[in-house]
A and B are shown apart, each in its own frame.
Chain A
Amino acid sequence: MSLLSVSHLKAGYGPINVLHDVELTVEAGEIVVMLGANGAGKTTTMRAISGMIGRSGEVHFEGADIARATPDAIVRAGIAQVPQGRGTFPELNVEDNLRCGAYIRSDKEIDADIDRWFDVFPRLRERRAQRAGSLSGGEQQMLAIARALMARPKLLLCDEPSLGLAPLITQELFAVIERLNREMGLSVLLVEQNANLAMHMAHRVYLIETGRIVASGSAAELSADDSIRKAYLGF
């Protein structure tokens, strides 16, 4: 059984349908990357999985049907999303942002987890009392990821983490995601426009175009296919 399996997923905004028939799976312990151009439906797919927009079709997480669940129920089930454009709470300080990430939890290990993510992202520890809105883009992205991880998710959804970041910072972030995947078996579904960097860490890749998955396979398989490489990967 896949950790996440999506089929016949349709979603959109009001009368406009963006996703027509999206099918994808994420196995436990995998990093799956979805590539596509602007407007292909990457963000819409993420928002549909998280329950942020109306959708139809089947979405199963650990075997349970979550296609009609509310966003908070989906977070509780174990899916945390890092939204596009970071989505931090700009008026709240760094530590409160992390506490919000642990909103669904009531255990005693929240402080220990905050410390843990401060170890992974030392820059955040230095800025723990600063407002999130005053951080740099890279720091905000780190904060957004750490906040999502505070929920102790089984699956992390990352929506274009590289957006607006210098390549070096993006590399640093991707290295952290790979490390979390290796060390704690965190499963990741990451969407990107930036094919080059993301494909390096992907176990599997999906290509999405105008609301449909048009190709899938390992990174090696897709880059070996000339027509796909030219049309979608741009190298």
Chain B
Amino acid sequence: MALFLQRLVDGLSSGSVYALIALGLVIIYRGTGHLNFAQGEMALFAAYVVYQMGEWGLPIGIALVIGLATGFVIGAVAEVGLVRPISKKSPFAVFIVTIGLFQLLNWLSGAIWGDQVLPNSGVGSKQQQYPSLFPDQPDDFVKVFGAAIRYQSLGVLLLTLVITGLLFLLFNKTKFGLAMRAVASNAESAKLVGIRVNTVLMVSWGLAAAIGALGGVVFAGINNSVSLGLMFTVFIYGSAAATLGGFDSPGGAVIAGLAIGVIENMAAGYIGFIGQEMKLAVAFIVILVVLMVKPSGLFGTAKVERV
């Protein structure tokens, strides 16, 4: 029981990070129909920025705000400067451009912060740990049925649920959310009712990158460090979550992200031959089976339109 609970909470905690990355992917996909391959590296860059703020002695709250703002700006600039001009010429080229952006951001992070795992006293880091959003000392946990539930894990899960709730309110209860849904549904008509489509797309990309950035900061916190490869597997899991949830469903992305986190942890823990190396494969087998039965994902909408 204790072990099960432990694995469940650990799974939900890493699943939260996948969910945040998946949310960013879904917001962009709904807005412009593009898969943002650079989502993970946008988050990586923001995670490095938060580390740097910590080095400069800023409290985590302020560091986080600066990190998320950096994510927002990267996303918005990428949309205005790269995606928009190129998608006019060829929608498919945008995918290639986001791959280029992925490499650019990874290279830029390496050029600024080097290829060491940070913090690292060897390269002069003042911090012992990566700035954590939640209490993360060795004794920061509660015992529940014998399992040690870390505040960090609970905090990460709670944060993800709060972000999901806020996004739901944004989409369904605000005028800007209505505009985002309208642009996603029919951009031409959105222009004809007076929505500034370009502004909506710019903010959508910014918002998506900022949510992804939160995922990056949280994941670096769970890992206690940031390094250039931090987001590679997370991005793969995040895309898998977005696919499994149905690429146009934010709620689906979160549920699928959490589910993938739990499945990989349970499988790695309980099925002997799987272990840490094979758990990626298990998650993908589950996804494959679901998509064979329901191609639009668990919560995605198969497009229905009468003419």
Contacts and interface: CB of A to CB of B under 8 A. Distances in A.
Given A72-B191, A103-B178, A136 B306 contact: yes
Contacts of B178: 96, 99-100, 103
B185 A91 contact: yes
Interface in B161-206: 175, 178-179, 181-182, 184-186, 188-196
Contacts of A140: 306
Interface in B279-307: 301, 303-307
Interface in A52-86: 52, 70-72, 75-76, 80-81, 83
A87 B191 contact: no
Nearest to A135: B306
Given A133-B304, A136-B306, A91 B194 contact: no
B182 to A, nearest CB: 5
Most chain A C-beta atoms within 10 Å of own C-beta, residue among B179, B186, B191, B193: B193
B305 A76 contact: no
Given A135-B306, A151-B193, A151-B194, A91 B301 contact: yes
Contacts of A72: 191, 194-196
A92 B307 contact: no
B247 to A, nearest CB: 13
B306 A137 contact: yes
Interface residues of A, number: 33
A76 B194 contact: yes
A107 to B, nearest CB: 13
Contact of B192 (A76, A87, A133, A164): A87
Contacts of A104: 193-194
B188 A52 contact: yes
B306 to A, nearest CB: 6
B271 to A, nearest CB: 40
Nearest to A144: B189
Nearest to B199: A72
A92 B181 CA distance: 8
B301 A52 contact: no
A71 B304 contact: no
A204 interface: no
A90 B184 CA distance: 10
Contacts of A44: none
A193 interface: no
10 contacts: A52-B188, A72-B195, A75-B193, A88-B186, A89-B182, A89-B189, A103-B175, A104-B194, A136-B306, A148-B193
